[in-house]
Amino acid sequence: MATRGKSSGTRDAPIVSAVWKVGVVASTRTETPTGRSIQIDVPGWGGNLAGQHVDVRLTAPDGYQAVRSYSIATASPSDRLELAVDRVPDGEVSPYLVDDLLPGDELELRGPLGGWFVWRPEQTEPVQLIGGGSGIVPLMAMIRAHAASGSTARFHLLYSVRSAEDAFFTEELAALASASLTITWVYTRVAPAGWPTPAGRVNRQTLEASTIPASESPAVFVCGPTGFVEAVADTLVALGHTAASVKTERFGGK
Amino acid sequence: MGIISRGFSGRSREHNPDLPPGQFLTTDFPVLSAGPTPRIDTAEWAFTITDESGLMHKWSWDELMALPIEDIATDIHCVTRWSKFGTSWRGVSLDTLFAGIDTKYAYTMVYSYGGYTTNVPLADLLGGKAWVAFEFDGQPLDPEHGGPARLLVPHLYFWKSAKWVRGLEMRKSDDPGFWEQNGYNIYGDPWKEQRYS
Amino acid sequence: MSHIDGNALAGPLSEVFSIDITDAVGRCVSCGDEAELARAMVYLSGTDLVVRCSNCDDVLLTVVHSPGDLRLTLSGLAALRVAV
């Protein structure tokens, strides 16, 4: 079986493990009216790259199983990882994770998975992160990795949410804002009192005004519902970013 | 098998003698797809039956609407394990469409706008078992559920009820369609749980 | 639910490949486009997946899960290139 660790090749290709590991929920934190973050201890986890995800598998007493993918919000080398889940209406797994899961519960995870939608601290180019709703999760891992590594690469986050209460990680994002991490908040339904711009969706003007321009050749990461990601990615290419520099992760939905 | 997740039961899986083996009952109508949803204008729509000589019998939307239309109330069963009881449709029976057609071949390949295919034996299309359906639950069939028209063959797993149907071709042998080539059962009887090949 | 993308292949295909398949570059049989599998469009049919070329929409591969069996049909992939 493949062992964890740096490869000796020219690229740090993540080794994949198909094994299901059992984690124990250490704690949970309410983030939004429909979402919460979940801190999980997984013996032998050994860390993950920023942007990777896990598959979570739930098994009912009669043996019925459901599997869903969730981005990891952390990129720490420790055995503790954090997920953040938004409750999907009529969902089968997310309501359990958001409403029922308790500290002490066991959770089966497979991963870390995915080596493409990933930011590594060795990257020095500017980074534009664009998240819609719970699409912030893998971007948060990148932001945390950026802070922890002391990277001076310029990071800009554009975070689109329905309203202020629908944002994940609000306090931490505000605390991490610095010379090398700037944030543009976009409220699509209800803007906070006194907000200079009326509520409205991200459009071409928003992207032109509030993202690192193509002329600076940023690495771009876009994550969120499929419709949001595709509209944003198409517009970025129209604004001059190369398709190769724009990486996307679609969560499904509309 | 995985460790049991405390307090997790998943979607309601009530036991019901009217359900085929391994199925659970849903009141939703899940949307599963193998590709992007085609958008077909009824002005351009046509349904074609091609026989073994290459002769094409073709109906435009208006011509289909002029044929006898039936009300269908039926249960449907998806290979992904959900079943829905008492669904109501309106459509034209394949018996009506095959009325003027002479064929010695026993199998068909069904074609959809967008490229999807599925194979259905002729015997499973005739005898009041299949329709070209264009209304569901009293409304025109939604594109995400196969509108403007889909094949409806409810006695087989629902992947055989090809969405966005545009016609079928008579075949000498039971050649596999899209899912059948990729691992699904060549026939697909839910009561015999014929899901995979 | 609408489609997602090839990032979702990482878990299911970890049972077949020991390398990260999402970063592997695939060549489409139909149009010749070369792109990382993470960029492909993934359509979900229960636990089964249909993976389509983001350039021409033709099917690159399908994944069918049955009890004890995973069927991977690669008929639309002309080639796969991975970093080792």
Question: What is the set of domains in chain A, with CATH numbers?
Answer: 20-113 (2.40.30.10), 127-250 (3.40.50.80)
Quick one: pLDDT band at residue C35, thresholds 50, 70, 90? very high
Residue A210 sits at the chain C interface (C-beta within 8 Å): no
Quick one: pLDDT band at residue A6, thresholds 50, 70, 90? very low
DSSP H or E segment with residue C65 = strand C59-66
The reported pLDDT for the residue numbered A3 is 36
State pLDDT tens for residues B141-194.
999 999 999 999 999 999 999 999 999 999 999 999 999 999 999 999 999 999
A90 vs B6, B7, B28: nearest CB:
B28
pLDDT tops 50 at residue A11: no
- Cβ-based contacts of A105 with chain B (< 8 Å): 5-7
Quick one: pLDDT band at residue A16, thresholds 50, 70, 90? low
- Mean pLDDT (chain A) is 93
Residue type at A186 in one-letter notation: V
Distance CA B69, CA C16 (A): 49
Residue A18 sits at the chain C interface (C-beta within 8 Å): yes
* Entry pTM: 0.94
The reported pLDDT for the residue numbered A4 is 37
CA B76 to chain centre: 10
- Cβ-based contacts of B79 with chain C (< 8 Å): 46
Query: What is the complex's ipTM, to 2 decimals?
Result: 0.96
pLDDT tops 70 at residue A82: yes
A20 vs B2, B11, B28: nearest CB:
B2
Spans of all domains in chain B: 43-192
Pick the CATH number of B43-192 from 3.30.460.20, 3.40.50.2300, 1.25.10.10, 3.90.420.10: 3.90.420.10
